[in-house]
Amino acid sequence: MSANHLKVRKALPERLRSLGLDESWLQDQIGRDPSLLGLGDLVIIQRERSQPSGGRIDFLMYDESGTRYEVEVMLGAVDESHIIRTIEYWDIERQRYPTLDHRAVIVAEEITARFFNVIRLLNRAVPMIAIQLSAFRQGEEVFLHPTRVLDIFESGVEPEEEGPDERVDWAYWEKIAKPESLAVVEVIKALVPASLGEPRVTPNKFHIALGTSGYNFCWFHPRRAASHCNLHIKVGAEKRQQIIERLEEAGLEATNSRRSEISLGLRVKDVEEHNDLIREVLSIAEQWSHR
């Protein structure tokens, strides 16, 4: 069928309750497939995690970098109690594990302008993500579509990514990572322009950081069994989408990540085949690190 013969239909979201579905059903779907939230490849630590305040957080999750996500899910429009509860649970978990990075995540079917403004203001003090999860029905199927209406606040100053108690030596990573995955660090380092300082690699317990004379701008997560290495590269919010599109055109899968970063997985072969493009991305990131 040619494109001219394709039919266009206007899809309008429906409330889950009107479809006979409740909050427990929605949590079950997220429990089976956390990627429904649109936050990447998250792993569930615990569902309905008890809190000292007497409540239960819907989901506690983490990503490959160790960042934890305190997720609260609700049907219908977001309200004050939902916002307060999400921040409360985020703060409790943050105090339990102060060395880890934490994100407060609000998930609702509707986030109205009034509460969006409230969340946006709070976002300057609390790393909060707001997701509007819309449901569309087609026949006997329900499609769930996440829209990240608010991401964590981007400050102009970037703190150091590693604390002194997280440092390890290179031998630590040689013991736990596959050599092919770890080799990506060296080939990427070789592509970093040295015009603003010699590249420096800093092994930490949960990642390997890369920078020059400014802030770190690239973080590696070598894999234990796979030959690729996951990277987070800070390129800035202005150019991020353009860079992602260019990487995807080249056959490299890349996604948005936190703090103006992109996330992608690379093998040594990928770096060698797309040498110029990756060098350009690193140059943009290296320049951003001096802002």
CATH number at residue 60: 3.40.1350.10
Give me the pLDDT at residue 161, please: 44
Same domain, 118 and 16: yes
State which of 120, 150, 180 marks the end of a domain.
Answer: 150
Separation of alpha carbons 68 and 90, rounded Å:
9
230, 254 in Cβ contact below 8 A? no
In percent, the amount of the chain with pLDDT more than 70 equals 91
Could you tell me if residue 4 is inside a domain?
no
* Cα-based angle 186, 227, 243 (whole degrees, multiple of 5): 65
Same domain, 30 and 61: yes
State which of 150, 180, 215 marks the end of a domain.
Answer: 150
Structural domain containing residue 71 = 11-150
Sheet of strand 200-203: strand arrangement: 200-203, 208-211, 218-222, 229-234, 261-266, 254-257
Q: Find the CATH number of the domain harbouring 195.
A: 3.90.1150
pLDDT at 107 over 50: yes
In sequence order, what are the residues at sequence separation of 6 or more whose Cβ sits closer than 8 angstroms to the Cβ of residue 152? 103, 123, 127, 128, 129, 258, 259
pLDDT at 283 over 70: yes
Same domain, 145 and 28: yes
Same domain, 146 and 76: yes
pLDDT at 155 over 60: no
148, 161 in Cβ contact below 8 A? no
Same domain, 175 and 90: no
Question: pTM of the full predicted structure?
Answer: 0.53
pLDDT at 126 over 50: yes
Same domain, 51 and 15: yes
Task: Count the domains in the chain.
Answer: 2
pLDDT digits (tens, 9 = 90+) for 68-103: 899 999 998 888 888 888 889 898 888 887 777 888
Tokens of 273: 């085949």
pLDDT at 51 over 90: no
